[in-house]
Amino acid sequence: MANNLSGGFKAYLYRDILIAQRDRGDLSKPLMFFLLVAVMVPLAIAPEANKLSAIAPGLIWILALLATLLSIERLFSEDYADGSLEQLLISPNLLMMPILGKITAHWLVIGLPLTLLSPVIAIWFSLPISAMVPMMLSLALGTAVLSLIGAVGAALTLPRQGGVLLALLVMPLYMPVLIFGSATIQAAVDGLNWLAPLAMLAALLAVAIVLCPLAISAGLRIAKNG
Amino acid sequence: MNFNLQWTWFHRLGSPRWFYQQTQRWLPWLAVATLALLVTGLVWGLAIAPPDAKQGNSFRIIYLHVPASVVALAGYYIMAISGAVGLIWRIKLSFMLMRSAAPIGAALTFIALVTGAIWGKPTWGTYWVWDARITSMLILLFLYFGVIALRHTYSNNEAADKAGAVLSLVGMVNVPIIYKSVDWWQTLHQPATIKFTGAPSMHPDMFAPLVVMIIGFYSFYSLALILFARAEILRREYRASWVKQLVSNQPAEK
Amino acid sequence: MYFDSLQQLIWMNGHGIYVWSSFAISAVIMIGLVVKPLRQKQAAMRNIELQIKLQASKQAAKQKEVADAPHS
């Protein structure tokens, strides 16, 4: 019986990671984007260390946000196209579990590597070492929230995909995450208490884990029936 | 017997036909009341009330800006709650109201933003200030745009309604979160808070016309909502016999 | 009346353009919010009228067919 509760979670987690692994290209594209745009910024703005470090906290976060947006659309689209979405919806498990499994897989494949890559960008932007750990913590927690909220948008736009609508729907919802995420890094740079905004991120994550699957399952059912 | 009556009442409330026929009667009165309130409030606020000591006459924009913001925000909740009622009780009329609420709310948010920007120029020298309220209003505008854009994703009305309701509800949960986080963000960066004349500190001579305008804007919102909903009802219920009868008795002008 | 003359009302000590442009934009949008649904309703009614006429003519054509068909 315990199997039924968490069974869906593990099954879909492994499945999605396996699928992602098979198509390495898809996996690396958002991360490449993340790095590429980061390179463009000094070229477009200024190579001076003080200017870059001033905008670094927010910029790193915006890049993480864009990279997540690029990749989240694909979360349900292939399943929708080949009929496995029906399987997901009629599974005996709590619908929340397969959904969380897929989103966790997405985070492991996009958000986590992004977090691990971020020190590279931090060095490019002359972010002080003291801010590294807070930055990575904020990205680790924040990208999870971004994946969760992004999945809501992905589920609601299933019938007609084409990135921009998803971005439009999801961006306003992303703003609090962006605010607290970049504030964590900025607080660390300024030597202030960075645990406070980080705690807010953790709170957002807790709320998102509970509420997003509800909206996602509603959206998936509408897409299937409509 | 009693249960039957209650059910009929509830059922009737959700019938588009009942809504259409009832509003037919009250609409002219609502329009008159709206006009009266708005004209009274505007004349009072623009011509009669004294100007602000610091801001001078440009402060009169408050009589447009604040009511628009208040009703724009309330309108989002109205939209989300209509969506929820439609989802939970499967009431079509509720979905129609939700659909109607979206463009009205977006337009009012736009008015709030533009009047706020225009007010900013003489008061702080710049058309835009990233203060908490205006930034939250801007995000609200995008939330509205999202709901409006989403309906075109679905080819059938039923699915579009449900998806719109889900999105509105997600947005509704987010509105206080967004507001709080933007507020917190702004205090981080701008310790000198820019405050519009707060309600309690306003002189009653200036506050009274504001109240009239807020009520007037709510009245206007109801008017516009009913008008949009009536058009939506006709569009969707074109196959119903009562609609056909209505049109035959009352052929469209022009 | 706070202002002494119509000119003062419009000028508002130099702030007139701000106040009146806000008023104008708001008025245009709000009038639009009333006009648009009224026009939509008109269009819907016209469409329905057309549909009724179409159905009526189809009915008439069918009846004519039945009437014209050779009786056995």
Q: What is the pLDDT of residue B249?
A: 81
B150–A226 CB contact, under 8 Å? no
Nearest to A169 among B146, B152, B158 (CB): B146
Check if B107 contacts A (Cβ < 8 Å). Answer: no
Q: Tell me: the pLDDT tens digits for B51-107? A: 777 777 888 899 999 999 999 999 999 999 999 999 999 899 999 999 999 999 999
Q: If you average pLDDT over residues A79-88, what whole number do you get?
A: 85
Q: What angle do CA C60, C65, C70 make, to 5 degrees?
A: 150
Interface membership of C2 toward B (CB under 8 Å): yes
> Using CA atoms, how far apart are residues B77 and B83, in angstroms rounded to an integer?
10
Model confidence at A1: pLDDT above 50: no
| pLDDT classification of B3: cutoffs 50, 70, 90 | low
Rounded Cα–Cα distance for residues A133 and A116 (Å):
11
Is residue B191 domain-resident?
Answer: yes
**How many domains are contained in chain B?**
1
Residue B14 lies in a domain: no
Q: What is the pLDDT of residue B8?
A: 64
Express each pLDDT in B222-252 by its tens digit: 999 999 999 999 999 888 888 888 888 875 5
Model confidence at B183, in pLDDT bands (50, 70, 90)?
Answer: confident
How does pLDDT run across A133-164, given as a tens digit for each residue? 999 999 999 999 999 999 999 999 998 887 68
Domain that holds residue A198: 2-225
Structural domain boundaries, residue B236: 27-249
Chain B residues whose CB is inside 8 A of the A156 CB are 150, 153, 163, 166-167
Q: What is the mean pLDDT of chain B?
A: 87
Q: What is the DSSP string of chain B?
A: -HHHHHHHHHHHHT-HHHHHHHHHHHHHHHHHHHHHHHHHHHIIIIIISPPBTTTBGGGGGHHHHHHHHHHHHHHHHHHHHHHHHHHHH--HHHHHHHHHHHHHHHHHHHHHHHHHHHHHHHHHSSS----HHHHHHHHHHHHHHHHHHHGGG-SSHHHHHHHHHHHHHHHHHHHHHHHHHHHHHHHHH-SS------STTS-HHHHHHHHHHHHHHHHHHHHHHHHHHHHHHHHH-TTSHHHHHHHHHSPPP-
Residue B10 lies in a domain: no
The C-alpha atoms of residue A152 and residue A139 are separated, in whole angstroms, by 20
Q: Is B4 a member of any domain? A: no
Is B221 contained in some domain? yes
Domains identified in chain A, total number: 1
pLDDT of residue B200 exceeding 70, the answer is no
Beta carbons of A71 and A108 less than 8 angstroms apart: no
ipTM, interface predicted TM-score of the complex: 0.87
Interface test mutation site (partner B, options C1, C4, C9, C18, max chain B beta carbons within 10 A): C18
Domain ranges of chain C: 6-65
- Residue stretches of chain C with pLDDT short of 70: 71-72
Is pLDDT above 80 for B197?
no
